[in-house]
Amino acid sequence: MGLLARADAKALEKAWAELEDKPAYVVLRTPETGMVMVRARTGGEGQQFNFGEMSVTRCVVRTDTGHQGHAYIAGRNKTHATIAAVLDALLQVPERHEALDADILEPIRYRLNLQDNETADKVAATRVDFFTLVRGDD
C-alpha cells in the first residue's frame, strides 16, 4: 500500500492502462478527500507538536473475487486513490502477486530509490560539519 500511495500518479495510471486482465470491481467507499493533522518532533526526538494539515484521499474497493483493496494517498487525486485500491486488492491474490510485483511495484521502488538518492546528494552537498577544538589543560 505504501508503494502505491507514493507512486507517481501518471506512472501508476500508465501501468494500469497496460495491465492485462483488469478485474471487475465495486467501489465500497468512493474516493473522498479530507484533512489530517501532521505531527512532528523537534530534532526527531523532542516534544511532539502539530506541524500542520495535509489533504489525503482514501478509497475502498472490492474485486469480483471478493478481495478488498484500500488506499490512502497524499493529495486530492481520486484516480490515483482508486487505482491504488484496486491494485491493493489484486496484490492479495497469490497467483497475481508475483507478476504485479515485477510489472508495477518494482518500477515504483526503482523510481523512489532514485528520488531518495537525488535528495540525499542535494543534502550532502550543503552539509556543514561543526567540530570543537579542545585546548590543553595548561
Provide the H-helix boundaries in the chain. 2-6, 9-18, 78-90, 94-100, 106-125
Asked if the structure places residue 132 within a domain, the reply is no
Task: Indicate yes or no: pTM above 0.85.
Answer: no
Total domains present in the chain = 1
User: pLDDT tens-digit profile of 34-43?
Assistant: 999 999 998 7
Residue 78 located in a structural domain: yes
Report yes or no: 94 and 108 within 8 Å, Cβ to Cβ: no
Q: Distance between CA atoms of 12 and 77, rounded to whole angstroms?
A: 12
Domain residue limits at 120 = 2-124
Q: How confident is the model at residue 123 (pLDDT cuts 50, 70, 90)?
A: confident
